[in-house]
A and B are shown apart, each in its own frame.
Chain A
Amino acid sequence: MKELFYIIAAISVISAVLVVSARSPINSVIALVVCFLSIAGHYVLLNAQFLAMVHVIVYTGAIMVLFLNIIMYMNLNKASEPRKALLTRVSAVVAGGILFLTLLGAIGQGLTAPPANEFDGSIGLVRSVGTVLFTDFLLPFEVSSVLFLSAMVGVVMLAKKDKVTKEVATADLSPAEMERRS
């Protein structure tokens, strides 16, 4: 079981590095899907079955497909991204590494806090997570539906606004006026 954790952890880290280093956006998305599936594997190892299912459905099923759709519609897979200067790239890696070392140093003494509750292997099952969600966290759960509604309205507005203004701009102006303005 312990070896399984290290194998899945290696897959997560390698695919995460691939996400950052891949030239073409499609390859990045595929690497991120692998990374997310390995994180779902970690959830299974933690016996968080509800989270594993939701993670696969929401992230790999919905969000990554959304990314792929956008890349397809916008034809972004040209890999024509100009590379940053070498100094910027080196300093990005150095900054990430220093952040890692700093955070690692912060937990260097180890986590000494004793477990808060008596050990119970079944807390990740749908029953216990659902019970907590619908008793202690009922209000945030309901409020999150408002968040979704506002996100939905915002997305529709953002995606439509440009089209509407463009139509108005071309409809109101005579050809001579448009020529003058451009």
Chain B
Amino acid sequence: MTMGADIITAIRVVPLEHYVVLSLLLFCIGVAGVIFRRNTIIILMCLEMMLNSVNLLLAAFSAHHSDPSGQVFVFFIMLVAAAEVTVGLSILVMMKRNVDSVDVNQLNRLKG
């Protein structure tokens, strides 16, 4: 059980600020990716990465403040992300069928 005890003490060993910086880095890489890329599928993946960085931050705060509510919120964010991905991918399938491209620049006119 030494491993388990190690993990429990490790929660406090790493300062909370370092988790914040890591989450910020992941979030900003996601933002840059959304601006940077034109492929819709990669933009969707960058959105997933941004959601995950927020999840990590919530879990870190929850563990440091010993409040399980934060982890329940992470659970709900995961539910919403799963629903969002299915809808996003079905829109992508429709886009591929209709304009035969996954380039977001093809969607600039909002015509049906």
Give A residues with C-beta under 8 Å from B: 1-2, 4-5, 9, 12-13, 16-17, 19-20, 25, 28-29, 32, 35-36, 39, 42-48, 50-51, 54-55, 58-59, 62-63, 66-67, 70-71, 73-74, 76, 81-82, 84, 88-89, 91-93, 95-97, 99-100, 103-104, 107, 110-111, 115-124, 128-129, 131-133, 136-137, 140-141, 144, 147-148, 151-152, 154-155, 158-159, 161-162
Contacts and interface: CB of A to CB of B under 8 A. Distances in A.
A96 B35 contact: yes
Contact of B71 (A107, A110, A129): A129
A158 B91 contact: yes
16 contacts: A5-B14, A20-B36, A25-B41, A47-B8, A48-B62, A59-B48, A74-B92, A89-B36, A104-B24, A120-B66, A123-B62, A132-B69, A137-B76, A147-B83, A155-B86, A158-B93
**Would you call the interface of chain B mostly helix, strand, loop, or mixed?**
helix
A92 B79 contact: no
A122 B86 CA distance: 33
Interface size class of B (residues with CB under 8 A): 35 or more
A32 B48 contact: yes
Given A46-B60, A48-B63, A51-B75, A20 B38 contact: no
